[in-house]
Amino acid sequence: MKKILFVFALLLTMFVAACQKSDEFNLDAKITVYTRDTTSGTRDGFMSGIGFSEAAKNDSVLVTGFVIRDNTAILNAMTIDEYGVGYISLSSLNDTVKGLHFNGVEPTEANVINNTYQLKRPFMWMIRADGDFPGGANSPVEQLVKAFVAFLGTSDAADIINNAGAIALPTSVTWDSIKNQHPITQQNNSGVTVRFGGSDSIQKVAEALTQAFTAKAGNFVAEHDHTGSGDAWKRTNGDTKDQTVGKDVGFSSRPFTTTESANVTSSQTGQLSWDAIVAIVHLSNPISNITADSLKKIYNGTYGTWADVPQS
């Protein structure tokens, strides 16, 4: 009987405790660091965005005692944990948490598109050179790839990109208005295979896009093999383009380097969308702006309390 009473008493205290709460923000409290799992593309984007790329796939360089949660759970945690810091993709930000300005710029879609908000990375595409597609010049594969690239600039594709959590570039062109320029899409292409590859962070977006596009373009077969941004150029225009791993379309989650762009004409590459990430804290946190350097120092453990973080 005593045990039951004890448990009831304990539960009661906890309920009462949950009702009261102090509003003081204690700057000397320890920062609780929240992060995504090492397999997450958002983590990759965030860590490289704050100049801490070595933490993208490695937990052991992070501050000890970090908490691993997924996108929604980090958002939810910031409504509870006054002293926490986490990061989510910009498209899931809402007013239950505080999205921090990054290097002085407010995290909004407009600031992402006008290229002032910097905690982001571009999603790029690259295709093979004209006439270098399987089947030679003007082959069905080449025509389908050209049609696909045109599709990427339409509002149909923008909707798919936004639904997948990235931020599409503004456009008002619809697929219906340009599809006549690509007669190949009116045929039955079920025997044609187009090979997609490159960044694994873009795989989800790319698959959503090809799934929608193949239905509009004669049901061609879209083969996805995403191995990393480095392979976007290598397998379409670089040294492995003619091997079995060669691709017709490569995606990259970073801008192409000068070496990569050297043998590629401007019509062969373009930007698909932005992937923007925002650092978030609890609403009661007095901080509203943060720099890449401060975030790195929080995530590697140099800054242990909020008082350590320079206010600007």
Partner 1 sequence: MQNVIKKPIQRNKATDLLVHQILKGLAILAASFIFVIAGVILIKGLTPFITNNGGIGSVNAWKFLTGNTWLIGDTFASNLYSVGFIIIQTLYVVSLSLLISFPVGVLTALFIAKIAPKKIAEFLRTVIEILASIPSIIYGLFGAGFILKLVYDFSAILGYQSKGGNSVLSTVIILALMTIPTITTISEVAIRSVDKSLIEGSLALGATETQTHFKVVLSAAKSGIFTSAILGVGRALGEATAVSLVAGSRRSGLSFDILDTTSTLTTTMLEGMKDSAGLDYDIRFSVGIVLMAVILIVNFTLNYIKKKVGQVDVK
Nearer to partner 1, 1 or 137 (CB): 1
DSSP-assigned beta bridge partners for residue 123? 273
Nearest CA among 94, 93, 70, 74 for reference residue 84: 74
Binding range to partner 1, per CB under 8 A, among 14-22, 102-110, 229-237, 264-272: 14-22
- 73-82 contact pairs (CB < 8 A, 24+): 74/34, 74/36, 74/280, 75/280, 77/34, 78/34, 78/280, 78/281, 78/282, 79/282, 79/283, 80/282, 81/32, 81/34, 81/282, 82/25, 82/29, 82/282, 82/284, 82/285
| Binders in 16-45 for partner 1, by CB under 8 A | 17-18, 20-22, 29-30, 32, 34, 37-41
Contacts of 198 (CB under 8 A, 6+ apart): 126, 226, 227, 228, 229, 231, 232, 235, 247, 249, 250, 251, 252
Nearest approach, Cβ of residue 57 and partner 1 (Å): 4
Q: Which of 12, 51, 57, 265 binds partner 1 (CB under 8 A)?
A: 57
Work out whether 14 is an interface residue with partner 1 (CB under 8 A).
Answer: yes
Distance CA 163, CA 233 (A): 27
Nearer to partner 1, 13 or 186 (CB): 13
For CA atoms 167, 33, 84, 16, give the dihedral sign: positive
Nearer to partner 1, 151 or 306 (CB): 306
Nearer to partner 1, 66 or 118 (CB): 66
Nearer to partner 1, 71 or 139 (CB): 71
Nearer to partner 1, 12 or 262 (CB): 12
Work out whether 4 is an interface residue with partner 1 (CB under 8 A).
Answer: yes
The site that binds partner 1 (CB under 8 A) totals a number of residues, namely: 39
Strand pairing of 269-281 and 289-290? unpaired
Nearest approach, Cβ of residue 273 and partner 1 (Å): 20
What character string, x for contact with partner 1 (CB under 8 A) and - otherwise, covers 65-104? Answer: xxxxx---x--xxx-xx-xx--------------------
Distance CA 81, CA 38 (A): 22
Q: What is the contact surface with partner 1 in residues (CB under 8 A)? A: 1, 3-4, 7, 13-15, 17-18, 20-22, 29-30, 32, 34, 37-41, 57-60, 64-69, 73, 76-78, 80-81, 83-84
